[in-house]
């Protein structure tokens, strides 16, 4: 077992630190956010992830995990900090990576290993992180190991996927790669694949998510085409997928989370060869406008209407609102030039126009004005289901019908039993 310092205690860093601690490693979990550190030192996690609270508690109580706002020396340093995205320039902000490297440098010793897990543009490990670390006077690949090992987990199932998913490991040389393999072999039950270099490992993570984003874009365009022919896109996709060489994903309201809407752009940060990939991004981002237009054309007008958006998390049964399609739909409704809409922030006032109500049974974000399900749907002219939370499959159609004005439901995730809702008097549009 080894000593490990995990830099960044968010959606990836905290579960990783707890995993390593629960497998017997001595772990320092480091973060610059003092409030977060204080909460974790008190044993309280700050985001909703099934099983994580108990998992972190176990790690803390074992004494193997220490949470700190100071970096300590360690055999392994794992960087799991964010890589914010500049939406206008379509580039990654790698300043957090640089800052993590600067924090490690004073503590770096011969024989140590630095592993970058953050998702980054190709070349970041060797072109950005390596020069920062070598300010220590040590040489990457000779005096210390330097590796990229991308995380590949899905919120809602992080603990299981940390343990069971395959891992891709690419070091700046073979010695570096072998050092990282030894650490991950201590808890990873999936296969460990090694690459010739760190840049390949960075590229692999990005193309995994780009494949999914591009496939979803195909499904979203097919959904729009299917509507032109008055057929059910999901039935058509299901039947098409019976072919052994076809695997089309499912359409929806757009793509959310931290990875899929962003990672494809990272591929082109140092290249001019994005074409199909950028078009796929435009299709997926355009689903918000498509849904708003659907609601408006079905109702006849959006002026003076009340719209309930059910689900502001980007995916079902989690509280993660990063790049949420539901929130983007709300913002688009709010920004329509011909109407004045209620703000979606809790500190905003209200004026006449489109009334936007938000509900989510998992999200507790205090910056959002979230209503109860009853308050959100009272007198609503349309309900847009933007997230496939299990709770929404349990809604009683007759009870909802008695509260609503118009009876329109736009089911962007196809989670409702369409015939049941139509029998109850609803117009149901599925994406």
Give the domain CATH number at 330: 3.40.50.720
pLDDT of the residue at 88: 87
**Which of residues 176, 198, 220 is at a domain's end?**
198
Distance CA 300, CA 74 (A): 63
The answer to whether residues 314 and 323 touch, using CB atoms and an 8 Å cutoff, is yes
Quick one: 145 and 22 in the same domain? Answer: yes
Inter-CA distances, 210 with 251, 298, 351, 414, Å: 16, 33, 41, 23
Quick one: 172 and 296 in the same domain? Answer: no
Q: Is residue 103 assigned to a domain? A: yes
Residue 107: CB atoms within 10 A of its CB come to 15
The answer to whether residues 175 and 141 touch, using CB atoms and an 8 Å cutoff, is yes
pLDDT of the residue at 342: 46
Q: Torsion-angle region of residue 111: left (phi > 0), alpha (psi -120 to 50) or beta?
A: left
Q: Is residue 372 assigned to a domain? A: yes
**Residue of 5, 75, 149, 205 marked active site:** 205
Q: Is residue 292 assigned to a domain? A: yes
pLDDT of the residue at 337: 62
Quick one: 314 and 193 in the same domain? Answer: no
Which residues have a Cβ under 8 Å from the Cβ of 156 and sit 6 or more positions away?
49, 50, 315, 316, 317, 318
**Which of residues 148, 175, 198 is at a domain's end?**
198
Distance CA 311, CA 305 (A): 19
Quick one: 31 and 167 in the same domain? Answer: yes
Quick one: 27 and 169 in the same domain? Answer: yes
Tell me the two tokens of residue 191: 């296969």
Distance CA 72, CA 17 (A): 14
Which among 400, 351, 394 has a CA at the least distance from the CA of 380? 400
Quick one: 156 and 20 in the same domain? Answer: yes
Quick one: 78 and 178 in the same domain? Answer: yes
Distance CA 370, CA 309 (A): 10
Which among 230, 356, 355, 382 has a CA at the least distance from the CA of 296? 382
What are the backbone angles phi and psi of residue 118, rounded to the nearest 5°?
-55, 145
**Residue of 5, 75, 149, 259 marked active site:** 259
Quick one: 302 and 170 in the same domain? Answer: no
The answer to whether residues 175 and 140 touch, using CB atoms and an 8 Å cutoff, is no
Cβ burial, residue 361 (10 Å; 0-12/13-18/19+): middle
Active site (annotated) includes residue 259: yes
Which residues have a Cβ under 8 Å from the Cβ of 57 and sit 6 or more positions away?
43
Q: Is residue 263 assigned to a domain? A: no
pLDDT of the residue at 349: 36
Q: Buried b vs exposed e over 294-321: b needs ≥16 C-beta within 10 Å? A: bbbeebeebeebbbbbbbbbbbbbbbbb
3-state secondary structure of 389: coil
Q: Is residue 223 assigned to a domain? A: no
Distance CA 14, CA 39 (A): 12
Q: Is residue 274 assigned to a domain? A: no
Quick one: 191 and 313 in the same domain? Answer: no
Quick one: 289 and 186 in the same domain? Answer: no
Q: Is residue 413 assigned to a domain? A: yes
Q: Is residue 235 assigned to a domain? A: no
Quick one: 290 and 193 in the same domain? Answer: no
Distance CA 269, CA 283 (A): 20
Which domain, by its residues, includes 333? 285-430
Across 189-328, where does the E strand assignment appear?
A: 192-194, 306-310
Inter-CA distances, 328 with 260, 301, 332, 334, 364, Å: 15, 20, 6, 10, 18
Quick one: 173 and 24 in the same domain? Answer: yes
Domain count within the chain: 2
Determine which helix (DSSP H) or strand (DSSP E) holds 66, and give its type and residue range: strand 65-68
Which among 332, 354, 358 has a CA at the least distance from the CA of 345? 358
Q: Running along the chain, 431 residues long, what does each successive block of 10 average in pLDDT?
A: 96 97 98 96 91 96 97 97 91 96 98 98 98 98 98 92 97 98 98 97 97 98 97 97 98 94 94 94 97 95 94 94 96 73 43 82 92 96 97 96 93 96 96 93
Q: How far apart are the first and last CA of the chain?
A: 50
**Which of residues 198, 228, 245 is at a domain's end?**
198
pTM for the complete prediction? 0.90
pLDDT of the residue at 163: 97
Determine which helix (DSSP H) or strand (DSSP E) holds 208, and give its type and residue range: helix 198-228
Distance CA 201, CA 355 (A): 47
Distance CA 335, CA 291 (A): 14
Active site (annotated) includes residue 149: no
The answer to whether residues 55 and 22 touch, using CB atoms and an 8 Å cutoff, is yes
Tell me the two tokens of residue 340: 């004045």
Across 48-162, where does the E strand assignment appear?
A: 65-68, 76-79, 85-86, 91-92, 113-116, 145-148
The answer to whether residues 219 and 241 touch, using CB atoms and an 8 Å cutoff, is no
């Amino acid at each position: 077992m080894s000593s490990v310092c995990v830099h960044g205690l968010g959606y990836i860093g905290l579960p990783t630190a707890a995993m390593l601690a629960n497998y017997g490693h001595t772990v320092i979990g480091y973060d610059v956010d003092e409030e977060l550190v204080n909460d974790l030192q008190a044993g309280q996690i700050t985001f909703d992830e099934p099983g994580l609270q108990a998992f972190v508690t176990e790690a803390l109580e074992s004494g193997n995990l220490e949470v700190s706002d100071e970096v300590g020396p360690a055999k392994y340093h794992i960087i799991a900090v964010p890589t914010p995205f500049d939406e206008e320039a379509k580039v990654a902000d790698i300043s957090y990576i640089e800052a993590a490297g600067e924090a490690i440098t004073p503590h770096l010793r011969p024989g140590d290993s630095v592993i970058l897990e953050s998702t980054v543009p190709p070349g970041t490990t060797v072109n950005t992180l390596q020069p920062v670390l070598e300010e220590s006077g040590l040489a990457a690949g000779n005096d210390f190991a330097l590796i990229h090992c991308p995380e590949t987990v899905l919120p809602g199932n992080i603990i299981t996927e940390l343990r069971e998913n395959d891992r891709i490991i690419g070091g700046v040389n073979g010695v570096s790669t072998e050092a990282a393999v030894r650490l991950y072999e201590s808890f990873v039950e999936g296969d460990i694949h090694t690459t010739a270099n760190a840049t390949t490992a960075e590229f692999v993570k990005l193309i995994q998510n780009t494949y999914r984003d591009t496939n979803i874009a195909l499904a979203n365009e097919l959904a729009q085409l299917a509507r032109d022919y008055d057929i059910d896109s999901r039935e058509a996709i299901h039947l098409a997928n019976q072919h052994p060489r076809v695997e089309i994903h499912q359409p929806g309201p757009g793509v959310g989370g931290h990875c899929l809407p962003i990672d494809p752009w990272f591929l082109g940060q140092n290249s001019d060869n994005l074409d199909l990939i950028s078009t796929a991004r435009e299709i997926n981002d355009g689903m918000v406008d498509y849904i708003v237009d659907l609601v408006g054309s079905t109702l006849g007008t959006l002026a003076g209407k009340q719209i309930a958006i059910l689900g502001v998390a980007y995916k079902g049964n989690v509280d993660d609102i990063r790049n949420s399609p539901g929130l983007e739909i709300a913002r688009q409704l709010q920004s329509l030039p011909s109407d004045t809409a209620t703000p979606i922030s809790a500190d905003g006032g209200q004026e006449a126009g489109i009334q936007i109500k938000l509900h989510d049974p998992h999200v507790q974000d205090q910056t959002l004005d979230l209503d109860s399900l009853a308050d959100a749907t009272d007198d609503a002219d349309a309900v847009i289901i933007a997230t496939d939370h299990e709770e929404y499959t349990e809604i009683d159609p007759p009870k909802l019908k008695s509260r609503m004005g118009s009876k329109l439901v736009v089911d962007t995730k196809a989670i409702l039993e369409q015939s049941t809702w139509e029998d109850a008097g609803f117009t149901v549009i599925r994406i």
